[in-house]
């Protein structure tokens, strides 16, 4: 019976059981979306990545337990980590991924993996009806990009202590809600990310959210290279660098489980 190599990787961390867990499935050839969605539901992690070889680079797709998504940072980081750590690509080789968000790359930068992603700047918008009540706090600033709401709060303490009404957040017409504030500690900013509409109540560390956070905080802080901390229970560090219409995301990853899919 043919099997599919599968890995459980914690991304944006160097320590097991921290950061954001992703499953990475190595496919010999493309599989039907229905099968991939069923596997993602079985894995029941915020994202499962499916990577298959192409003539140039790899095709990469990402699924939550409920839907396929257009962009995922931590599962891309996890995929690059697996390809290098399992000897499937040379460490000095830049990985090229064809995705629903165009061509993305991953490269080794000293002890970090660097992802080249599209910037997703958020534009100021009216506060959606029910948002303040759902969050339990009044936003300082609200903006929106093609995927998410970006909500600035008054303090890091508010971000860390937030306990939103997830049932109410589902009703908002967005993929998810990014909450953020300037850090009072060693980071430039902190954030959290809630996406119950796509089956992810709170994502531990969200690379795609930082594609919006990078231009937001670069403008406010006057610097293009920043360090963010996603203040979920697991927590994780994302280094970002804004380069025009692109964002470089840097982080580390660690494999926790190595196995095979039998189905």
Catalytic residues: 47
Dihedral Cα 132, 163, 210, 43, nearest 10 deg: -130
Which tokens belong to 183?
Answer: 């850090």
Helix locations, 104-203, DSSP H: 131-135, 156-161, 166-169
Query: What is the C-alpha to C-alpha distance for residues 179 and 254, in angstroms, rounded to an integer?
Result: 26
Which tokens belong to 14?
Answer: 């160097």
CA 234 to chain centre: 14
Q: How many CB atoms lie within 10 A of CB 77?
A: 30
Query: What is the C-alpha to C-alpha distance for residues 118 and 47, in angstroms, rounded to an integer?
Result: 19
For the chain, give me the number of helices (H) and strands (E)?
6, 18
Bridge partners (DSSP) of residue 251 are: 113
Helix or strand or coil: residue 191? strand
Q: Which of 207, 142, 126 shows the shortest CA–CA distance to 177?
A: 142
Strands (E), the chain: 4-11, 20-26, 47-53, 58-63, 68-69, 95-99, 102-109, 112-118, 123-124, 141-144, 148-152, 176-182, 189-195, 200-203, 225-230, 236-243, 246-251, 253-261
């Amino acid at each position: 019976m043919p099997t599919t190599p599968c890995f459980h990787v914690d991304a944006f961390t160097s320590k097991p059981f921290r950061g954001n867990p992703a499953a990475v499935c190595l496919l010999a050839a493309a599989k039907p979306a229905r099968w991939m969605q069923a596997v993602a539901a079985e894995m029941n992690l915020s994202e499962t990545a499916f990577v298959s070889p192409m003539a140039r680079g790899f095709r990469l797709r990402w699924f939550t337990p409920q839907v396929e998504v257009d962009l995922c940072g931590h599962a891309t980081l996890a995929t690059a980590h697996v390809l290098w750590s399992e000897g499937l690509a040379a460490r000095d080789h830049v990985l090229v991924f064809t995705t629903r968000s165009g061509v993305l790359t991953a490269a080794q930068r000293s002890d970090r993996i660097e992802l080249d992603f599209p910037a997703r700047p958020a534009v100021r918008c009216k506060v959606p009806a029910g948002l303040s009540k759902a969050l339990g706090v009044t936003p300082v600033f609200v903006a929106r990009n093609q995927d998410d709401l970006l909500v600035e709060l008054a303090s890091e303490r508010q971000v860390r202590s937030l306990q939103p009404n997830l049932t109410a957040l589902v009703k908002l017409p967005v993929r998810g809600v990014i909450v953020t504030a300037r850090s009072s500690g060693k980071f430039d900013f902190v954030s959290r990310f809630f996406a119950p509409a796509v089956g992810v109540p709170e994502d531990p560390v969200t690379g795609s959210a930082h594609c919006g956070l990078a231009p937001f905080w670069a403008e406010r802080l006057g610097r293009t290279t920043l360090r963010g901390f996603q203040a979920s229970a697991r927590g994780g560090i994302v280094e970002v660098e804004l380069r025009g219409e692109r964002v470089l995301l840097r982080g580390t990853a660690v494999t926790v489980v190595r196995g095979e899919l039998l189905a």
